[in-house]
Amino acid sequence: MIVFTPLAPSTGSTQTTSNIGKVEGDGWEADLSVDIFASEKEDGFNWNSRVNFTKSEQIVTEQQQDQILYAGSTASFLGANAAIRGEQLGVIVGDRILRDADGNFVINSAGNYVTESNVILDDGRSITPIIGNPNPDYVMNFINSLSYKNFNLGFQVSHTKGGDIASSTIAVLLGRGLIVETEDRANTFILPGVSQSTGQPNEIQINNSQYYFSNVLFGPKELQVYDASVLRLQEISLGYSVPKRFLEKTPFGSLSITASGFNLWYDAYNTPDGANFDPNVAGVGIGNGRGFDYINGPSSKRYGVSVKASF
């Protein structure tokens, strides 16, 4: 791992690069193509399907510091991507719910979760708690090409399995009571855990607003982390090639027109339905950060038409 280290301006430069760690990775990719239908006729019906599957991980094996925050925010309530020895590169760190010695959540006298911003590992390292891993378990693409006479149809469905995202968009929608998951205003909550003062099971009731506003929106960052698995209709296209006999008295050697659509449907099935949330956002901008949504604009559907001609 290479990071920028600040220098005194008197040296003639303000920063230098330093190699402060080591990352080891492995993975594999498989690609399978099958002709479901293959016509012997030139203009017959043909259908080819491909499945592409990729899986990889990068583990931090050596580093000079307990943890390195390289994307996101240094404020633990906002979260960051970190390099931590023994973990996948880029794990999400941030405030989490305080646990007692037995791993129970700790609840304060108001009935809300208690937050902790620092933990000590068994080997003595002091780190911001790990609250998620943005690296997906795998990515799979299902790609299809169909043709009949002068028409061709193509579509691609993608499935990203796993990979966490810390979503401020969902937290705001829940905290402000703007989606159907919060519509039961009469409901009360007793947060699972133990009392901070007595160590006994928590019995304090809180209302709908206090749960979503004080805990989900303005509580531990851990409560804003979701599994970002998503199914997506990545692309679909329909094309038509003009038969050559219709081009004999034209200057064209070939002529085709194709209509395309991109990102037409998705389902992030492990996030609240009412949020209609798309995890395909770059919350920390361009770079190597991932797994954050800071009320970013959603991804867009795109449509296009292309015309190809030869002379």
pTM of the model: 0.89
pLDDT surpassing 90 at residue 4 = no
**Locate tokens 């040296």: which residue?**
11
Place of tokens 């290479």: 2
Residue 212: other Cβ atoms inside 10 A: 24
d(CA 185, CA 305) in angstroms, rounded, equals: 48
Question: Could you read off the pLDDT of 194-250 as tens digits, one per residue?
Answer: 999 999 999 999 999 999 999 999 999 999 999 999 999 999 999 999 998 888 888
Q: What percent of the chain clears pLDDT 90, i.e. is strictly above it?
A: 80
Distance CA(224)–CA(192), nearest Å, equals 17
Summarize the confidence of residues 276-293 as an average pLDDT. Answer: 91
**Residue 248: predicted pLDDT:** 86
Nearest-Å Rg of the Cα atoms of the chain is 26
> Residue 19 pLDDT more than 80?
no
Candidates 173, 139, 115; CA nearest to 293 is 173
Q: Is 199 left (phi over 0), alpha (psi -120 to 50) or beta?
A: left
The residue written with tokens 């990545």 in the block is 234
How confident is the model over 285-299, as pLDDT tens digits? 888 899 999 999 888
Other C-beta atoms lying within 10 Å of the C-beta of residue 206: 19
Task: Give residue 239's pLDDT.
Answer: 97
117-130 tens-digit pLDDT:
999 999 999 999 99
Plot region of 185 (φ>0 → left; ψ -120 to 50 → alpha; else → beta): alpha
pLDDT confidence of residue 5: 61
What mean pLDDT do residues 42-71 have? 93
pLDDT at 2 (0 to 100): 60
Range of the domain at 138: 2-310
Residue predicted with more confidence, 157 or 10? 157
Token duo for residue 168: 């401020």
The DSSP annotation for 231-251 comes to EEEEEEEEEEE--GGGGTTSS
Predicted local confidence at residue 182, as pLDDT: 94
Specify the residue for token string 């992030």: 268
Distance separating alpha carbons of residues 94 and 283, to the nearest angstrom: 15
- In the chain, the number of structural domains is 1
Q: Which of 41-50, 69-78, 164-173, 289-298 has the highest mean pLDDT?
A: 164-173
pLDDT of residue 275: 96
Place of tokens 């600040």: 6
Section 175-182 average pLDDT:
95
Q: What is the mean pLDDT of the chain?
A: 93
